[in-house]
Structure 1
Amino acid sequence: MSTNTIILLLGTNLGNKFNNLESAKNHIKNEIGEIKKESNLLENKAEGFTTENLFLNQKIEIISQLSPFEVLKKVKDIEIMMGRMYSQPLENELYVDRLIDIDILYFNSIIIDSNRLKIPHPQNYSRSFIKSLYFY
């Protein structure tokens, strides 16, 4: 089995945001792999929809034996286990408030372009806040 280096983006704008990120990281450690690096935390406005709730975001670098599609399944399972509700956005908006959101930004240096998964994440460069998250 190969060891994979994966960059995940964590985001939350509901409830106790700091605790949501910590809980997500604990689930990721238990279900996906070892966290090697954590970025700064960034509080920012939502992009793609209207809300009064600020987001708290963080990037993490993990090492895992799982494949990209196995990681995708695990992060979706973690989101649901933590209470994420998938609902229809309002007209002319892309997203809704969320308790937790986990995106796969990078997986080694591979490129995947399927209906279920796109790596690198298509919004890596269009979401301005991602550029403000850095590893120590």
Structure 2
Amino acid sequence: MTKQHSELAFLGLGANLNAPLEQIRKATNALSEHAEINLVASSSLYGSKPMGPQDQPDYVNSVVAIETNLSPLALLDITQKIELDFGRVRKENRWGPRTLDIDIILFKDQKIDNERLTVPHYGMKTREFVLYPLHEVAPELCLPCGTELTELLKTIDKNGLTILATS
């Protein structure tokens, strides 16, 4: 991959089915093995309470920082293929259990809002399972809106978020 044109992006990974700790580790490896993706950093693996219906297993979450020459939509295609390879089934229930979820949280300082992709991720500012792992890999990060990540962390409860393992 040619470094001079690569863009920094942050991806959020989550799973709560089929050995989620291993799902996240294997998905991180799948991302790092892709020819157009350079894995820069990976957070610890965090345990978190599910969003939405509580009658499902707790989640395992992490955030990875990557460099890529891919466009945001091409990166989305790759992450969705990896999700499918890991048994992801997209259902009507937005917050139901899943084998793997990979979200593009940030793509450099770009703002994207179309039918396939919203970046920065629409819910990132209120999700402890995104913000704390993101802070672990990019503690000095400032969001495209100008908000510093450290300031956001002061406003959000950990909600039972715990570190399960290092990456």
State the Cα RMSD in Å.
1.5
Unaligned runs of 5+ in 2: 139-167
Q: Distance in 2 between the 1:88 and 1:50 partners?
A: 17
Contact kept? 2:56, 2:97, Cα under 8 Å: no
1:20 match: 23
Which aligned pairs between 1:76-91 and structure 2 lie closer than 5 A? Answer: 76-89=80-93
2:103 match: 103
Q: Distance in 1 between the 2:113 and 2:92 partners?
A: 24
1:95 Cα offset (Å): 1.6
Contact kept? 2:62, 2:129, Cα under 8 Å: no
1:54 Cα offset (Å): 0.6
Bigger Rg, structure 1 or 2: 2
Residue aligned with 1:125, SS: helix
Which aligned pairs between 1:30-109 and structure 2 lie closer than 5 A? Answer: 30-31=33-34, 32-89=36-93, 94-109=94-109
Deviation readout 1:37-65 (Å, 9 max, x if unpaired)? 11122101101233330100000001111
Q: Distance in 2 between the 1:39 and 1:126 partners?
A: 18
Query: Could you tell me which amino acid in structure 2 is paired with residue 128 of structure 1?
Result: E
Q: Distance in 2 between the 1:109 and 1:131 partners?
A: 17
Structure whose residues are more often helix by fraction: 2
Which of 4, 9, 14 is matched with 1:6 structurally? Answer: 9
Unaligned runs of 5+ in 1: none
Deviation readout 1:82-136 (Å, 9 max, x if unpaired)? 11111222xxxx4210000000000010100111111100011122322222228
Q: Which runs of 4+ in 1 moved over 4 A?
A: none
Q: TM-score, normalised by structure 1?
A: 0.90
Q: TM-score, normalised by structure 2?
A: 0.74
Q: How many residues align?
A: 132
Q: Distance in 1 between the 2:21 and 2:54 partners?
A: 22
Q: Distance in 1 between the 2:59 and 2:20 partners?
A: 8
Bigger relative CO (Cα 8 Å, ≥ 6 apart): 1
Contact kept? 2:9, 2:106, Cα under 8 Å: yes
